[in-house]
Amino acid sequence: MNLSDCKLDRNAFGRLVVTKNGEIHEGVVPVRAFPVTAANEGIALVNVYGHEVAWIENLAELSGSDRTLIEQELANREFMPEIRRIDKVSGFATPSTWQVQTDRGATSFTLKGEEDIRRLSSTTLLITDSYGLHFLIRDRSQLDRHSNKLLDRFL
């Protein structure tokens, strides 16, 4: 199921619509196969029942208008702030409150347990707060010394 066989559009309600072989699929949602490690590769377009309608190998292969539609939908659907600095941690036992600087501004969150910090690679971490919101540390080596020192207490 390749997107080249399909027509991509928005309906009057602003929902994504895929037309394939004359069949119309409304309310289609893009889902990344590898949201952190290969964000622009392997994107499935799934219908309201969770069934794949089309597959995108790479966003770069799409026309400008199709790529814009998919990127807008992904931006609306995904929210994963990237931690740039860890300012303060309330304590080294969990649960603890973290005050951080992200690419979207300053915020704080509660870390329930050390198991909510997952290593995705040697330098990439995914932190899940008590509400299930994900925070990304894309490259731990880019954090300042103070941030790394605080983070080391939990790893």
DSSP single-letter state for residue 64 = H
Q: Which residues contact 53 (CB under 8 A, 6 or more apart)?
A: 1, 6, 18, 20, 25, 28, 45, 46, 47
In this prediction, residue 102 carries a pLDDT of 97
The whole-angstrom separation of Cα 42 and Cα 55 is 7
pLDDT at 67 over 80: yes
Please state which of the ranges 36-40, 52-56, 62-66, 130-134 shows the lowest mean pLDDT. Answer: 36-40
What is the tens place of the pLDDT at every residue in 73-106?
A: 888 777 889 999 999 999 999 999 999 999 999 9
Cis omega (within 30 of 0) on the bond before 95?
A: yes
Share of the chain above pLDDT 90, in %: 64
Q: Per residue in 59-81, is it b (16+ CB within 10 Å) or e — as a string? A: beebeeebbebbeebbeeeeeeb
The whole-angstrom separation of Cα 139 and Cα 123 is 5
Mean pLDDT, the chain, rounded, equals: 91
Q: How far is CA 95 from CA 37, 49, 89, in A?
A: 28, 37, 10
Predicted TM-score (pTM) above 0.85? no
Say whether 68 sits in a helix, a strand or coil: helix
In this prediction, residue 63 carries a pLDDT of 85
At residue 1 the predicted structure's pLDDT band, cuts being 50, 70 and 90, is very low
Cβ 133 vs Cβ 140: under 8 Å: no
